[in-house]
A = this chain, B = another copy of it.
């Protein structure tokens, strides 16, 4: 057992405050002074598709550190709630979205998809204290407008390339300074997760309203992947994948042209065969 001097009580050289045992779960009693105090938060990567581009929800920081910079929405986990509950609460507070109930299949309640993304715990990621943040990924259909704290200037949907760009300025002169903390990394990880997951799952429907056309679903894939897809092959593939889409019987011409069939998300969550992302 390399680097292990004995069966406990390491870390005394950091001030003797914490007992950092290797084997906490072999029987440490509850003693608040016996473990290092961490703050645990949830941060949210909320993605949607607006005007043919993949956008994320960003909130403006009002105070130091990173005052005035954009950040991902997030907040503390409360003592009595699960991580997923905390993320769902934050999501609801920021967007008014309810989270889709996994027991209700297919997802026809217009709720958002929410899943855990990854956890970020670099000791220096927050200069104020040790914060471990459990990032979550939420996918939502296009929403009216962000309404954060009543302050219209404090939250917005921004294209992810703009939020991840470290140089230059955004579309309307918005300064494109890097996101606060390690949120650029979190956002990049969330986008990558979404990009890969719509390949082999029916997740792309989470970006669509309850009823949608094949063309609208295709524009979701095109926006998330940043590629152009052949409408004919896409149509054949998506309607031929069992359980992906169920026709509602209705049609719409809201996209112009010939009336298109309306579909709802089917019960399938895993697509077989998968949607293939074109090569680079």
Measured CB to CB, the residues of A under 8 A from B are 1-4, 7, 11, 14, 18, 20-30, 32, 35-41, 59, 61-64, 66-67, 71, 73-83, 89-90, 92-94, 96, 116, 118-123, 126, 128-130, 132, 134, 147-150, 180-181
Contact = CB atoms under 8 A, between A and B. Distances in A.
Contacts of A23: 59, 73, 75, 149
Contacts of A82: 121-123
B79 A2 contact: no
Stoichiometry, as copies per complex, reads 2
A12 B209 CA distance: 37
Query: Which DSSP category, helix, strand, loop or mixed, fits chain A's interface?
Result: loop
Contacts of A74: 24-25
Contacts of A40: 36, 38, 40, 121, 132
Given A38-B40, A80-B14, A1 B147 contact: yes
A121 B77 contact: yes
Contacts of A39: 24, 35-36, 38
Contact of A149 (B7, B27, B126): B7
Given A93-B1, A119-B119, A27 B64 contact: yes
B7 A93 contact: no
